[in-house]
Amino acid sequence: EEQLVESGGGLLQPGGSLRLSCAASGFSISNHWMHWVRQVPGKGLMWVARINTDLSTTNYADSVKGRFTISRDNARNTLYLQMDSLGAEDTAVYYCARERHLLQHDYMDVWGKGTTVIVSS
């Protein structure tokens, strides 16, 4: 079964840092672009970042640019999100997702269950 499992979430104070991990099983992430998406409890989905297969291309939402860094270790089959200078507005459930080419374009088709980040003093 193709699966993604996030970890690393927690409670931390404003200004702090955290690294999230996303371990894949049942497939190799080396063949896929990978994404992070977040969701404030009770609110909608917000795309955060993506990375291509060979780490040469990364993109970020404006709200996290310069503070978050997406990376991957294809040998470990794991995706990461380094989050620095965290603020209350970053409180959310963070999901990792696999992108896969389907017919005409690429879509996020496998998602993890998410890990919760709470930023509060």
Rounded to the nearest whole angstrom, what is the least distance from the CB of residue 13 to other proteins in the complex? 26
The reply to whether 34 sits near other proteins by the rule CB under 8 A is no
Interface residue with other proteins among 12, 24, 29, 50 (CB under 8 A) is 50
Pick the closest to residue 18 from 89, 61, 68, 76 (CA basis): 68
Residues for the chain: how many in total? 121
Q: Mark the segment that binds other proteins (CB under 8 A) among 11-19, 22-30, 71-79, 106-114.
A: 106-114
Rounded to the nearest whole angstrom, what is the least distance from the CB of residue 83 to other proteins in the complex? 18
When the beta carbons of 61 and 118 are compared against other proteins, the nearer one is 61
Residue type, 23: A
**Count of residues of this chain found to bind other proteins when the rule CB under 8 A is applied:** 24
The reply to whether 60 sits near other proteins by the rule CB under 8 A is yes
Pick the closest to residue 24 from 63, 75, 88, 85 (CA basis): 75
When the beta carbons of 27 and 47 are compared against other proteins, the nearer one is 47
The reply to whether 40 sits near other proteins by the rule CB under 8 A is no
φ and ψ at residue 30, rounded to 5 degrees: -60, -20
β-sheet bridge partners, residue 79:
22, 72
Strand order in the sheet with 68-73: 3-7, 18-25, 78-83, 68-73
Residues found near other proteins in the complex (CB under 8 A):
35, 37, 44-47, 50, 59-62, 95, 102-109, 111-114
